[in-house]
Amino acid sequence: MAEFKIVLSDQKTGRAYKVDVTGGAAGALIGRKIGDEIDAGSFGLPGYRMQITGGSDRNGTPAKRNLPMSGRRRLLLSSGAGFKPVMEGQRKRKAVRGNEITADFVQINARVTEYGDKALDEYFAKPVAEEKKA
């Protein structure tokens, strides 16, 4: 079964949260495309909606929004996701993934588009460490 790490960005606070998704919730992401808006209630965030903004596979190959396919291709890039030119006019052939989410993805990037009743900090609160006994 597929397992994903969703990096959810909160535009209001500027913080990012990691959500581990497995099982049926992860299966619901397969076949979605970058730019799709989905309900985050199935990930334990009721009332929230999120938009998929990108992702990468197990090798770190980034996904491109404007590549309508599910596999990996080697493209000649001059800028954008997957390549940062060092000199002006530089181009390079780099591997990138298509915009369709498959089981090969490991990380999915998303941003919050609609907020729920509770703040995200309440869902992702770190447990308070017990004091050490002297």
How many other β-carbons are positioned within 10 Å of the β-carbon of residue 35?
A: 12
Q: What is the CATH number of the domain that holds 12?
A: 3.10.20
In a domain, 25, yes or no: yes
**Average pLDDT of the chain, as a whole number:** 89
What is the average pLDDT across 98-111?
94
In a domain, 78, yes or no: no
Res 133: pLDDT: 62
Local confidence band at 121 (pLDDT 50, 70, 90 cut-offs):
confident
Q: Between residues 131 and 20, which one has the greater pLDDT? A: 20
In a domain, 87, yes or no: no
Q: For the chain, what is the radius of gyration of the CA atoms?
A: 18
Instruction: Kindly state the tokens that stand for 94.
Output: 């780099």
3-state helix, strand, coil in the chain (%, to 5): 10, 40, 50
In a domain, 85, yes or no: no
Tens-digit pLDDT profile for residues 31-60 = 999 999 999 988 889 999 999 999 999 999
Give the domain extent around 29: 3-67+100-123
In a domain, 29, yes or no: yes
In a domain, 13, yes or no: yes
3-state class (DSSP) for residue 27: helix
In a domain, 45, yes or no: yes
Instruction: Kindly state the tokens that stand for 52.
Output: 């998929």
How many other β-carbons are positioned within 10 Å of the β-carbon of residue 22?
A: 11
Number of domains the chain contains: 1
Measured between alpha carbons, how far is 70 from 103 in angstroms, rounded to an integer?
Answer: 10
